[in-house]
Amino acid sequence: MAPQERTRRAAAIQDADEARNELSSALDDAGVLLPSLGLDTVSLASGYLPPLVDLGRCNPGTARKLAEALREGRATGLITRVREVNRRSEQRSR
């Protein structure tokens, strides 16, 4: 891998880690803990896949808390905001 590509890859991994931290903080604020939240090791090891945030697994109670937080967020426009952020993120990764 060329030095410029390594630098770009490191920045993408840092971005994914920051996104994971932001999500973890937001979930904490909503009272939701995803114990396996982390970075996807397969995408980190890949030379061509973008780094991915792995939401992991959770128990049914946590899944319900997450669903409730999303429903509450929909009422406040969260879903629209998440879709906008996702759209921008997809455009950056192209």
**Domain boundaries of the chain, sorted by first residue:** 3-92
Closest CA to 32 of 76, 77, 5, 69: 69
pLDDT band at 58 (very low <50, low <70, confident <90, very high): very high
Query: Half-sphere exposure of residue 1, counting CA atoms within 13 Å on the CB side?
Result: 12
Query: Is the Cα torsion angle 79, 16, 29, 60 positive or negative in sign?
Result: positive
- What is residue 53's DSSP assignment? E
φ/ψ (deg, to 5) at 57: -115, 160
- What predicted TM-score, i.e. pTM, was given to this entire model? 0.74
Does residue 94 have a pLDDT over 80? no
Q: How many residues does this entry show for the chain?
A: 94
Q: What pLDDT, in 10s, does the model give residues 12-47? A: 999 999 999 999 999 998 889 999 999 999 999 998
54 bridge partner residues? 38
